[in-house]
């Protein structure tokens, strides 16, 4: 294996890694010079090359500007494989299957929440189960959990957590096809039983934001986003159920690699042909975890709406807290894309990447079909977040994908060493941002300096044209695990 990674400049925002050795396709990194300097600090460009070895990979092994070192795949990696001849890799999805983000708009303005902000953040903190080892208010029986795994967010809505209208504003309508609870181990079912309706820890959060700037008024209007209004973001995933499914199937994939004689440069890229029993079993189980994650975020959103209503003493109509959209950041999807002028079925792995489908695409809900799919890019604690919209160029270049966040640049341990949690909380408060977290070290780990500059990351995908800026959100208060 070569020690150096060659990067060829295509333009200011595209860097090509030429095909060498057993790479089946070249690599393509979306970044500017400054972000590239961060990227080159870790092994992620090498991981882009490793992913290019996957059987059936098409066009490019892609990486978004928020990329950083992951397992097997880099975080921020996108790879599409031929559905008939290619492989599926749990490492291309990650442990937190369908870790994702949803955004609620509201009728509220800053003056409606500012006088109550201390109470609001405390009430959200108390009503939204979060933190290490947290369990929720919902205890599922195994039979009920099987329903969650196939019905996803719709299960939550039919049990009183939210409104029917939320479903059309959720990627896949909040439930992926192909989910089969029989592909999920009893251990994973047990692990998921008490964790539905919990935020989790680490980089998961609930954040109240102010819509600070609109870049595209027509699209923002279609999304229901208006400058000066309050919005809420919820970032969480499939909790222990997803971790267990990934672990279970990585083990099986390890054996499949030998069975199907797949040669890979990294064990964490373990994979199986999509059309093999192992590949189909992983997809069926992964879809179950994805559906669980949508149900989870749906429940969290319901309690968020309830809390706003009680704390501010306002009716649902006054609040107007409508879901804008819910996107996956870690997923493998069966999609149809045009490759070399021909339509083909592919399996798109998005690991720390967001689907970014354009106007007119049949997967974009009717309410947004004329403008394109909302893309949600949460910032880290204390920095801005962005709402973008999918583009035709993303379909042509990145299998309809874009970035997912700021991307870490400093390790959690480095960050903890360099950051004093209490000082940071004070500084954030001075900037008008309240943070409540169960674990104090979490605050230091998630300090803004640990992340890349999100403004720059979003600027790259906007200028490269693989999604377009619609709105900027500024945080007011954050609840963390």
Partner 1 sequence: MNPTGFYTIVDHTADVGIELEAAGKPEVFAAAALAMFDLMYGLEAISEKETWRIEVKAESDEELLVAWLNEILYIHAVEKLLFAGFTEATLSEGAFSALGHGERFDPIRHKGDMEIKAATYHRLLLEKQKAGWKARIIFDV
Cα–Cα dist 305/310, whole Å? 9
Answer for which of 15, 60, 95, 205 binds partner 1 (CB under 8 A) is 95
Helix H segments across 134-206? Answer: 142-151, 153-158, 165-168, 186-192
First to last CA, the chain: 41
Residue keyed to tokens 């990145």: 398
* Nearest approach, Cβ of residue 73 and partner 1 (Å): 11
Cα–Cα dist 401/339, whole Å? 15
Site for partner 1 in 361-390 (CB under 8 A): none
Q: Does 445 bind partner 1 (CB under 8 A)?
A: yes
Q: For the residues of 2-45, what is the DSSP string, one character each? A: -SS---EEEETTEEEE---TT-SS-EEEE--HHHHHHHTTSSHH
- Segment interacting with partner 1, rule: CB under 8 A, options 91-99, 101-109, 157-165, 459-467: 91-99
Q: Does 439 bind partner 1 (CB under 8 A)?
A: yes
Answer for which of 14, 69, 306, 367 binds partner 1 (CB under 8 A) is 69
Give the SS3 label for residue 144. Answer: helix
Nearer to partner 1, 47 or 391 (CB): 47
Please count the other Cβ atoms lying within 10 Å of the Cβ belonging to residue 19. Answer: 15
Nearest in space to 453 (alpha carbons), one of 406, 400, 416, 412: 406
- 79: phi then psi, degrees, rounded to nearest 5: -145, 130
Site for partner 1 in 190-229 (CB under 8 A): 190-191, 195, 200-202
Site for partner 1 in 408-437 (CB under 8 A): 408-414
- 218: phi then psi, degrees, rounded to nearest 5: -65, -45
Site for partner 1 in 1-60 (CB under 8 A): 42, 44
* Nearest approach, Cβ of residue 331 and partner 1 (Å): 16
Q: Does 122 bind partner 1 (CB under 8 A)?
A: no
Answer for which of 26, 178, 254, 465 binds partner 1 (CB under 8 A) is 254
Answer for which of 118, 228, 440, 449 binds partner 1 (CB under 8 A) is 440
116 is catalytic: no
* Nearest approach, Cβ of residue 131 and partner 1 (Å): 6
Cα–Cα dist 415/398, whole Å? 32
Nearest in space to 323 (alpha carbons), one of 186, 475, 161, 112: 161
Q: Does 98 bind partner 1 (CB under 8 A)?
A: no
Nearer to partner 1, 19 or 187 (CB): 187
Nearer to partner 1, 105 or 146 (CB): 146
Nearer to partner 1, 125 or 223 (CB): 125
Q: Which residues of 348-378 are buried (b: 16+ CB within 10 A; e: fewer)?
A: bbbbbbbbbbbbebebbbeebbebbbbbbbb
Please count the other Cβ atoms lying within 10 Å of the Cβ belonging to residue 177. Answer: 10
Nearer to partner 1, 85 or 413 (CB): 413
Q: Does 252 bind partner 1 (CB under 8 A)?
A: no
Nearer to partner 1, 147 or 239 (CB): 239
Extract the tokens encoding 198: 């919990």
State the residues that interact with partner 1 by CB under 8 A: 42, 44, 68-72, 75, 94-96, 131-133, 187, 190-191, 195, 200-202, 240, 243-244, 246-247, 250-251, 254, 267-268, 408-414, 438-442, 445, 481
What are the residue numbers of the active site? 404
């Amino acid at each position: 294996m070569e020690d150096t990674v060659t990067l060829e400049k295509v333009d200011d925002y595209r860097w090509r890694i030429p095909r060498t050795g057993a790479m089946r396709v070249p690599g393509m990194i979306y970044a500017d010079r400054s972000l590239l300097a961060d990227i080159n600090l870790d092994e992620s460009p090498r991981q882009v090359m490793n992913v290019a070895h996957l059987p059936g990979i098409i066009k490019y092994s892609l990486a978004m500007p928020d990329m950083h070192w992951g397992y097997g795949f880099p975080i921020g990696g996108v790879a599409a494989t031929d559905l008939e001849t290619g492989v599926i890799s749990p490492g291309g999805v990650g442990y937190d299957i369908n870790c994702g983000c949803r955004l609620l708009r509201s009728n509220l303005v800053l003056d409606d929440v500012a006088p109550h902000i201390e109470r609001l953040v405390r009430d959200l903190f108390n009503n939204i189960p979060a933190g290490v080892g947290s369990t929720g208010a919902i205890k599922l029986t195994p039979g009920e959990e099987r329903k969650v795994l196939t019905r996803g967010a719709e299960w939550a809505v039919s049990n009183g957590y939210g409104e029917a209208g939320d479903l059309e504003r959720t990627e896949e309508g909040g439930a992926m096809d192909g989910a089969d609870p029989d592909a999920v181990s009893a251990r994973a079912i047990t692990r998921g039983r008490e964790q539905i309706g919990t935020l989790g820890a680490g980089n998961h959060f609930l954040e109240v934001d102010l819509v600070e700037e609109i870049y595209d008024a027509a699209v923002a209007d279609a999304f229901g986003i208006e400058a000066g209004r309050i919005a809420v973001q919820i970032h969480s995933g499939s909790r222990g159920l997803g971790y267990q499914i990934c672990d279970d199937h990585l083990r099986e994939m390890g054996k499949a690699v030998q069975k199907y004689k797949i040669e890979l440069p990294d064990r964490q890229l373990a994979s199986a042909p999509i059309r093999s029993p192992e590949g189909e079993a992983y997809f069926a189980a992964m879809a179950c975890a994805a559906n669980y994650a949508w149900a989870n975020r749906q429940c969290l959103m319901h309690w968020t709406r309830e809390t706003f209503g009680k704390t501010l003493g306002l009716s649902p109509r006054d609040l107007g807290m409508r879901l804008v959209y819910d996107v996956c950041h870690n997923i493998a999807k069966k999609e149809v894309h045009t490759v070399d002028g021909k339509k083909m079925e592919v399996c798109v792995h998005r690991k720390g990447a967001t689907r970014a489908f354009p106007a007119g695409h049949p997967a974009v809900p009717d309410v947004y079909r004329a403008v394109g799919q909302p893309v949600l890019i949460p910032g880290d604690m204390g920095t801005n977040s962005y709402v973008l919209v999918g583009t035709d160029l993303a379909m042509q270049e990145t299998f309809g994908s874009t970035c997912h966040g700021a991307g870490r640049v400093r390790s959690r341990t480095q960050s903890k060493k360099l950051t004093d949690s209490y000082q940071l909380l004070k500084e954030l408060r001075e900037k008008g941002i309240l943070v409540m977290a169960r674990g104090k070290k979490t605050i230091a780990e998630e300090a803004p300096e640990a992340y890349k500059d999100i403004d720059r990351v979003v600027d790259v995908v906007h200028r490269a044209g693989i999604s377009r800026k619609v709105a900027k959100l500024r945080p007011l208060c954050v609840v963390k695990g």
